[in-house]
Amino acid sequence: MENTLLVGDFLFVTKAVYGAEVPLVHSHLPAIREPRRGDIVVFRSILDGSTIVKRLVGLSGDTLAMRAGHLFRNGLALAEPYVLHVDNSRSETPSERARMRAWQIPHLAPGQDAAAYWPDVQDWGPIVLPSDSVFVMGDNRDNSLDSRYWGPLPRLNIQGQPLLIYFSYDPDSWRVLPFLTAIRWSRLLARPH
């Protein structure tokens, strides 16, 4: 999520907005609103259950594709001023591309030739998102383990939305500079967007 969020940022997250989970009974409170395209969301990883922060770029029923590192939703190129591109020519290993292909084939948009389809991290789709799922991507597109790799995220995995950065420090400066100079004062109480 760099530069939107940085290593060393501590977030205050509201879980009520999307319907907080009630401990022990595994049910959810009513949501204030449903997730929207462009929201930064905190969710439980489908790979290992860890807590992750990414940007929601697609909802159930959306058709998504990426061409030369540019994201398209429902046929339209998205203006994403928050996205950081370092290397649009980046490509994945054949084994990683095979894993991407395996989850994408069942979701290919009608009319696509599945036999000839061979996605890569910067060029894939179009895919249609299944019901009760979303697609999330990091803002640092060239260095982000996101839905491109593991597929649609179930809606129930979304835990909340970051409201503000309540503390931030530079972990690299922490080792060499005194405590107060490692704090990123300009980021305190900033709202991620």
Across 9-13, 32-36, 55-59, 142-146, the highest mean pLDDT is recorded for 55-59
Q: What's the total number of domains in the chain?
A: 1
What is the domain range of residue 59? 9-187
Residue 193 counted as domain residue: no
CATH number at residue 102: 2.10.109.10
Q: What pLDDT was estimated at residue 117?
A: 95
Q: What pLDDT was estimated at residue 182?
A: 81
Q: Identify the sign of the CA torsion 26, 32, 34, 37.
A: negative
Residue 63 counted as domain residue: yes
Q: Which DSSP string do the residues of 24-90 spell out, in sequence order?
A: TTTEEPPPSS---TT-EEEEE-TTT--EEEEEEEEETT-EEEEETTEEEETTEE---TT-B-S-TT-
DSSP 190: B
Residue 179 counted as domain residue: yes
Residue 26 counted as domain residue: yes
Q: What pLDDT was estimated at residue 176?
A: 60
Residue 159 counted as domain residue: yes
Residue 2 counted as domain residue: no
Q: What pLDDT was estimated at residue 178?
A: 60
User: Residue 116: pLDDT band by 50, 70, 90 thresholds?
Assistant: very high
Q: What pLDDT was estimated at residue 87?
A: 79
Residue 22 counted as domain residue: yes
Q: What pLDDT was estimated at residue 2?
A: 76
- β-strand pairing of 153-154 with 76-77: unpaired
Checking if the pLDDT of 85 tops 90, the result is no
Tell me how far apart the alpha carbons of residues 10 and 95 are, in angstroms, rounded to a whole number. Answer: 35
Say which residue, 13 or 27, is predicted with more confidence. 13
Query: Tokens standing for 44?
Result: 């439980």
- State the amino acid at position 181 in one-letter form: T
User: Residue 61: pLDDT band by 50, 70, 90 thresholds?
Assistant: very high
Residue 3 counted as domain residue: no
Q: What pLDDT was estimated at residue 174?
A: 58
Per the prediction, the chain carries an average pLDDT of: 91
